[in-house]
Amino acid sequence: MLRIVPSTLKEANALVRDKHRHHKPVVGARWSIGVESDGNVVGAAIVGRPVARMTNQYRIAEVTRLVTDGTKNACSILYACAARICREMGFSEIRTAILESESGHSLKVSGWKFSHWTDGGDWNRPSRGGRRTDQPMCRKQIWKKILKRDSNQGPEVKAPVIEEDICPSCYCGISCCECDSNQEGSEG
């Protein structure tokens, strides 16, 4: 059974260093969480300020790293919990970027919506250098979850359809999870 646990940035970055396929540890963050199975930490999410400089860092949070050892449903649970924590902290939106080649399934089953594509490339410009270039430079998918409706947020963009069983109680993606038997107490 998977369970969310507290995690320091140092602990989460150690998982990123050891298990992430294409990113290195982050320099800073707002907070991080872990997920464990049978007492062993199998994944972590690191949430920070939005990477895009023109994004409102006081209203929008961003999952800057999410890493697991491949344990089933660990990604979905981390994304869902990160959104719940941000909602409780008063953020209006949470977002993340994934590679062009990734399906977004864990985000979809966690209630996130596809927003848009980035152009890819690095962030360095002739007038402003020094940004990291040791990460994928391909186009990225931006996914988000609206936590509170804000009057200046535009309409949501429909995501590609992924036909999978989704738990109606917690969107964890497990068609036979424990919440299926306890539908009445869920927020939905």
- Supply φ then ψ for residue 108, to 5 degrees: -60, -45
Q: What is the mean pLDDT of residues 109-133?
A: 75
* Residue 163: strand, helix, or coil: coil
37-53 confidence digits (pLDDT tens): 999 999 999 999 988 87
Question: Is the pLDDT score of 146 beyond 80?
Answer: yes
Is residue 82 scored above 50 in pLDDT?
yes
d(CA 147, CA 90): 8
**Looking at residue 63, what is its pLDDT?**
95
**Higher pLDDT among residues 78 and 173, named by residue:** 78
pLDDT at residue number 148: 77
Verdict on whether the full-model pTM lies above 0.85 = no
- What does the DSSP assignment read for 108-155? HHTT-EEEEE---S-S-BTTB-----SS--S-EEEEEEESS--TT--P
Q: Which domains does the chain have, with CATH numbers?
A: 2-121+135-159 (3.40.630.30)
The answer to whether 34 and 22 are in contact (CB under 8 A) is: no
Tens digits of per-residue pLDDT, 160-179?
Answer: 444 444 454 454 544 445 54
Query: Alpha-carbon distance 55 to 165, whole Å?
Result: 33
Rg (CA), the chain: 17
Rounded to an integer, the average pLDDT of 64-72 is: 92
